[in-house]
Amino acid sequence: MSIVPKSAASGARGALAPLARALHAAGVSANTVTFAGFVLTVAGGIVLASDQPGAALLLLLVGTLADTLDGSVARIAGGGTKLGAFLDSTFDRLSDSALTVGALVVGIAHADALLLWSAIVALVSGSLVPYVRAKAESLGLAASVGLAPREARLALQVLGVAAWAVTGSLLLFASAMAVVALLSTITAIQRIAHVARALRNT
């Protein structure tokens, strides 16, 4: 069970298909799109940490778009490569950490306990979610289950930044991070339980 319906995910990919085709036609590779998304998202995390939610939001929106586009560009190019999959997964982890660390720095700067602890929990549990999946796959098991996939958690974080930028209320951003922390923790527990049951049955 996921908070993101499969129809919504496929609909988003369909909406981005024309842009992906245009990038492919222009000779832009999926790896280039992946790297661009990584750089923009990390820059967004740094700008966020400097207390500039408006500028951070712009960088994060473009970075997240690139992060979503790379898979579509790879499919249009005839399928991704092992290197591309490796880079995509690695840069995703770094991008997620940069955004969450940016929130952590803001929490420290504003002495906001909710934002500070939410960012810490989100950082730990958010790292655990893909690790459990990767470890399970190394054991020959699938573990892509869970309430909140990465795309949902990332969208909530960006929405939190947008709410802060538009209203000036840090509480809205802290609340969004608290939701992300909760969903990340639930998803990690779900994946651990799923793998444990599968291993008991083997």
Tokens of 52: 């500039």
**Active-site position among 67, 70, 88, 92:** 92
H/E element holding 131?
Answer: helix 113-138
Alpha-helical (H) ranges within 50-112 are 53-76, 82-109
Burial (0-12, 13-18, 19+ Cβ within 10 Å), 26: exposed
CB 55 within 8 A of CB 161: no
Has 51 been annotated as catalytic?
no
Tokens of 108: 């420290």
Residue 170 per-residue DSSP state: H
CB 163 within 8 A of CB 53: no
Active site residues: 92
